[in-house]
Amino acid sequence: MPKSFRDQALNLTYFYPGRFVPDPESVSPRPSAEATPKCARSTLFANAVSPVDTSSFVLSTIDNTCPNVLHGATMLGPFVREQILRQLKQYGEPTITQEPTAYAIDGHPAAIVLASVPMPVAEGKIPHTTYAAKACFLGNIPAKPHKKSDPVDQVRHVLCFDFTTLHNDLYSLMFGFSMQFDNDSPQPIVPGSVIR
């Protein structure tokens, strides 16, 4: 059975496969006294562990706490590419397996990148590769000004979905994730048509 996670602040609901178990730390509010401004904040982290694989996902939000980071994130394609490479470099030398692909989620511009990285092999262990996908999308649809004098509606936040797995055939698990903006109907976070 699918599970859901509600982000009250953004009026969003995420739906994800029931095999994923949320990390209690990721959904409990932190005391504000310890809080330091973070440009990107994780809203949910969950794992699915089986005898043959561990898959995980993270939902995160970038807001105007750091205006320069938010502005860079609105350039979705280059941003997701740079971020996935940075995240995977901690494990080795990553390879982009699908360059940024643009699409839309309920009218919200989005982009996804796929990458992989061979993991260091411990003695006596079987070599394996980590496969990752990162999709980011604009939290609001910027309104185009009618006249030059009209202010441009700025993007207030960028939402990201990070997925990792040890088997590339499990990329298909991503198709089980969807989200609902306000009271619109749920839309897939990653439609099957964007994965090549």
Q: 120-138: per-residue pLDDT in tens?
A: 776 666 778 899 999 999 9
- Of 193, 86, 69, 72, the closest CA to residue 134 belongs to 86
Q: Which three-class secondary structure state does DSSP give residue 184? A: coil
- Can you list the domains of the chain with their CATH numbers? 3-24+40-194 (3.40.1000.10)
Higher local confidence (pLDDT), 160 or 153 = 160
Res. 172 pLDDT band, cuts 50 70 90: confident
Asked whether residue 35 carries a pLDDT value surpassing 50, the answer given is no
Q: What pLDDT sits at residue 189?
A: 95
pTM recorded for the entire structure: 0.85
Give bridge partners of residue 3 from the DSSP assignment.
16
**Which of 20, 14, 108, 96 has its CA nearest to residue 60?**
14
Q: For 9-34, what is the mean pLDDT?
A: 73
Residues 136-145 have a mean pLDDT of 75
Work out the average pLDDT over 102-111.
94
pLDDT of residue 31: 37
Q: Cα–Cα distance between 142 and 75 in angstroms, integer?
A: 13
Contact 167, 132 (CB under 8 A): no
Q: Is residue 143 pLDDT above 80, yes or no?
A: no
Can you give the C-alpha Rg of the chain in angstroms? 17
Task: Please check the confidence at residue 194 and state whether its pLDDT lies above 50.
Answer: yes
**142 pLDDT above the threshold of 90:** no
Instruction: Please state, in angstroms and rounded to a whole number, the distance separating the CA atoms of residues 100 and 75.
Output: 11
Say yes or no to pLDDT of 4 above 60.
Answer: yes
For residue 129, how far is the Cα from the chain centroid?
20
pLDDT beyond 50 at 34: no
